[in-house]
Structures are given as structure tokens and as C-alpha cells.
Amino acid sequence: MTAAFVQSQAPVTLLGGAPVETKRLREALALAPVLVAADSGADRALAVGLTPRAVIGDLDSVTDETRSRLDPATVCEIAEQDSTDFHKALSNIEAPLVLALGFTGARTDHELAAFNVLARRPGGAVIVLGAEDLAFHAPPQVALDLPVGTRVSLFPMAPVTGESTGLRWPIAGLDFAPDGRVGTSNESTGPVRLSFHGPGMLVILPRAHLTPAVRALSPAPPG
């Protein structure tokens, strides 16, 4: 197996090319300090005075000026067109957690493609950050310490069932599917515990609850 281009013991912030507020980027970097750019995310990083540790993608959207400023040793160019730059980047990052921003809020097809990639990665902790919300692919079990009244939406990307505690409308006995029942606009009655019988469920929370999401998905410390 080929080693990942980026191997980090610290969480990674993965920056895409869609518009991102600098404040939001700084918030992500406070939690995931290693910056990696996917394709034209490199332009956005340099524009705010940040140099990514690595740039991954087909590089068809990176400007010539940006390419001239990058250390070639930090560039992982993948020419194939069968996958998105988000997929290329995630496939070449080995880290305990990835916070991905700059992949939502611009083109709808790009945003849907990002969620498609997220749903096909049952392993690894990846949180996609938008302007208002965050989303992650639920592991088999996840515990979220949320205040009462927090919006918790569940969107299936495949047929999936599960159980819950701490939700106003429990999910036990429900059959979720992308062309059937979805779980938008549920809400917490306190700390939330979710378990699922298979992969495919995206959990969507207000972005204000990024820290509990990070805690929920971060690997437990050894010992």
C-alpha cells in the first residue's frame, strides 16, 4: 500500500476552493493546526498569508502565480479525472481528524459530491464545515454532549437503521433511506447517543457545536 502523502499525528485542516471566511479558517486551524489545500484551496490559503504543508489534487484550478510560490516537494498532483479533489486529498491524508472547509456553499454539484465522498468513507474522522452547519459520517456509535434544544439532523446516504437516546424524536424502529425517510430537524433533549447498524448516515449539526463534534470523533487517548 502506498503511504499517504500527508502523514500527521495532529489534526488536519483541509481547505477547498469555495469561499471561506478567514475567521472560520482560523477557527478550524485552532483545532486542526496542520493546513493542507485541495487544488485551488492553495490560492485561498496564500491569499490570507498561509502556506499549506501540502497541496493535493489535479491542480487544474490553481493559478500559475500560486504554483510558482509553492515548494514542488509539497505538491501532490494527481491527474486522473475519475475522482474529485476532495476525494484525492482525503485519500492522501493520514491524520486522527480532518476538518474540511471550502467544499460547500458555492456550486451545488461540488457540495453534493463532497457529501458523496464523506458517505463512502466509513473509517476515519472527517467533518465538513459549511457557513452555518457541519456534517460528518456517523461511526457505529457516537456520543455528542449537546445542550438541550440543539438541532440534530440525520440524513441517510444509504439504507440504515439505528437507535438513539437524547433526541426529542427517537429513531429506533425507523428505516432511513436517501429516497425515503430522512431525519431533518430533530433536536436534543440533553447529551445525545447514537448507534447505527451500518454505514451511510450523515449527522448534521449547527457549526457552533464543532467542539463537541470534534471530541466525539477524536480517537480516545491511549491507556
> In sequence order, what DSSP letters do the residues of 184-213 get, joined into one string?
EEEEEEEEEEEEESSS-EEEEEEGGGHHHH
Ordered DSSP codes for the chain: -PPPSEE-SS-EEEE-SS---HHHHHHHHHHS-EEEEETTHHHHHHHTT---SEEEE--SSS-HHHHHHS-GGGEEE---SSS-HHHHHHHTEE-S-EEEESSSSS-HHHHHHHHHHHHT--SS-EEEE-SSEEEEE--SEEEE---TT-EEEEEESS-B-EEEEEESS--TT--B-TTSB-EEEEEEEEEEEEEESSS-EEEEEEGGGHHHHHHHHSPPPP-
Same domain, 16 and 57: yes
Whether 1 maps to a domain, the answer reads: no
Predicted pLDDT of residue 223 = 42
User: The whole model's pTM is what?
Assistant: 0.94
The residue among 82, 108, 131 that closes a domain is 131
The residue among 102, 131, 160 that closes a domain is 131
Predicted pLDDT of residue 122 = 66
Same domain, 12 and 107: yes
Same domain, 103 and 29: yes
Name, in order, each residue with C-beta under 8 angstroms of 123's C-beta and a sequence gap of 6 or more: none
Residue pLDDT tens, the chain, 223 long: 578 999 999 999 999 999 999 999 999 999 999 999 999 999 999 999 999 999 999 998 899 999 999 999 999 999 887 889 999 999 999 999 999 999 998 789 989 999 999 998 766 699 999 999 999 999 999 999 999 999 999 999 999 999 999 999 999 999 999 999 999 999 999 999 999 999 999 999 999 999 999 999 987 654 4
Same domain, 126 and 20: yes
Q: Structural domain tally of the chain?
A: 2
Instruction: Tell me the residue range of the domain where 186 lies.
Output: 141-217
CATH, residue 188: 2.60.120.320
Same domain, 14 and 57: yes
Predicted pLDDT of residue 118 = 92
Predicted pLDDT of residue 1 = 54
Whether 222 maps to a domain, the answer reads: no
Same domain, 72 and 27: yes
Whether 193 maps to a domain, the answer reads: yes
Predicted pLDDT of residue 185 = 96
